[in-house]
Structure 1
Amino acid sequence: MNALETRTRAARDAGRKLLLPYVTGGVTDDWGDLLRAAVDAGADAIEIGFPFSDPTLDGPVIQQSSDQALRRGATTRRILDEIARVAPPVPVIAFSYANLVLRPGADAYCAALADAGVGGLIVPDLPVDEMAPVAAAAQAHALDLALLAAPSTPLRRCADIARRSRGFVYAVSLMGTTGARSRPHESARELVRCLREETDLPVVLGFGIAAPGQAAEAAGYADGIAVGSALMRRLLDGATTAQLGAFLAQLRAALEPAG
């Protein structure tokens, strides 16, 4: 197993719920400091969003954070240089669209990620039946390619996604783009159940988790949560790194078992 999957399995087997915050690379001058704050708050791994001009899966908050990063001159190389400089002591997962991966070539892209210390990769617009070249490149460079499943995913395809994912399986809580909701949709619980029938990988729930109560609810049936829009909304509204770290610490506390 690679470092990411080793970490996620160890946490799950120890009864610890996973906390995976998402940070848009290059969104501010000091975005690297947020990686350190996330680690201090109890993050088990960190997703780094690589800004893309047409982020089809992302809602308005992540789109805004990506636009801001691109206007500031964010590039894949600059983001990787910052990840290497900070060198977080938890696995880093690149959240990157297919165009960014395929333009330089999957092998070159995965090699660059690995050289910067990245341990995982998510490509949300890459269908499972077209992933073979990227999966091979990821495996060659010791990257865990985590796949996404949604409530609308047919059972047979869901099983394929679960079996071919590495590191963890990303369960999308509802049909729609990223962004905060009042609570995870009930379909999320059924999706997690279906995925667990097909794999023993940890299942992480994402999309729509924005508050400690939602995190606690998700922890009742998933192995952890990914939180992005709620964190980036606070950053875009001017929250300090300390305030963002405090928010993540609240989520971490909500994921812990009562008593």
Structure 2
Amino acid sequence: MPYIVAGGNGLERLEDEIKTLAENGATAIELGIPFSDPVADGPIIQKAALEAFKHNVTFQKIIEKLQVIHSPVPIVLMGYANSFFHYGLEKLLVDLEKTDVKGLIIPDVPYEHRELILPKLAQTDIALIQLVTLTSTKERMQKLVEVGEGFIYAVTVNGTTGIGQTYRDSLNEHLAFITQMSSIPVLAGFGVSTREQVQRFNEFCDGTIVGSKLVASLAEEGVEATGRLVAELTGKNE
């Protein structure tokens, strides 16, 4: 599942980016909402968010764009609580009815505060995705998995997103443990940037999320080259 920043290269390119990612093997797309203080994101994604602001991209404009384009695969919106609450959850869910958005990731809304959001999603087909981190206890992992919808986001490092992460030796066991507990797919993310990493994590969970590598490629190499990169990461051309 690729992660890209909505409007990082201008909203006029978003439809082409989504279609190209899907055509080259993406089974869903995580679409980041630009934010001024993205506490979970590293410098590449932070830079893309700033570029989006230079293009006058807003959450409202992103939703308006999603209302008029079609994605071949489900879209998962990733953003911070401030963005969602400022937009208004009730209004957002109404506005999303005619889009391909099927999930929300809000990393700064912890398990204990999920009731701020879950009741509003009850009458929709939109899932609230739970994140499981390396610092989560086994008891907490169990709670997160039990309430999980859509898929479980297994965070692979302590810290922010970015290329060149060093993974701990026990990560394979950690991913396998979560996958064994979960009745829904488990996807590993943060720092994944090579075909070898994708293959490694796919042995222990159901899929991987690649973000910073693709965000940088879209900005520096363009849409077609990024499509080829996704095909390489997924093994679509093998």
Q: Aligned match of 2:177 in 194, 211, 227?
A: 194
Q: CA shift at 1:240, angstroms?
A: 1.7
SS at match of 1:225: strand
Q: CA shift at 1:70, angstroms?
A: 1.4
What is the match of residue 26 of structure 1?
7
Pair 1:169–1:255, CA change in 2 (3 A):
farther
SS at match of 1:234: helix
Q: Deviations over 1:213-240 (max 9, x none)?
A: 111111111100001100011223x212
What is the match of residue 168 of structure 1?
151
Pair 1:184–1:84, CA change in 2 (3 A):
farther
CA distance in 2, matches of 1:110, 1:22: 21
In the alignment, does 2:25 pair up with 1:38?
A: no
TM-score (norm 1): 0.86
> Contact (CA 8 Å) 2:24, 2:236: kept in 1 or not?
no
What is the match of residue 51 of structure 1?
34
What is the match of residue 74 of structure 1?
57
In structure 1, list runs of 5 or more residues that go unmatched: 1-19
Pair 1:154–1:225, CA change in 2 (3 A):
same
SS at match of 1:103: helix
What is the match of residue 252 of structure 1?
234
Q: Aligned match of 1:243 in 225, 228, 231?
A: 225
> Contact (CA 8 Å) 1:171, 1:191: kept in 2 or not?
no
Higher mean alpha-carbon deviation, 56-65 vs 116-125, is at 116-125
> Contact (CA 8 Å) 2:179, 2:205: kept in 1 or not?
no
Pair 1:82–1:187, CA change in 2 (3 A):
farther
CA distance in 1, matches of 2:83, 2:123: 19
> Contact (CA 8 Å) 2:67, 2:96: kept in 1 or not?
no
CA distance in 1, matches of 2:170, 2:236: 22
Q: CA shift at 1:52, angstroms?
A: 0.7
> Contact (CA 8 Å) 1:114, 1:142: kept in 2 or not?
no
Pair 1:71–1:165, CA change in 2 (3 A):
same
What is the match of residue 101 of structure 2?
118
> Contact (CA 8 Å) 1:184, 1:209: kept in 2 or not?
no
Q: Deviations over 1:26-74 (max 9, x none)?
A: 1113132110100110110001000011100001111111111112111
SS at match of 1:114: coil
> Contact (CA 8 Å) 2:154, 2:186: kept in 1 or not?
yes
> Contact (CA 8 Å) 1:234, 1:244: kept in 2 or not?
yes
Q: CA shift at 1:255, angstroms?
A: 11
Aligned residues: 236
CA RMSD of aligned residues (A): 1.8
SS at match of 1:43: coil
In structure 2, list runs of 5 or more residues that go unmatched: none
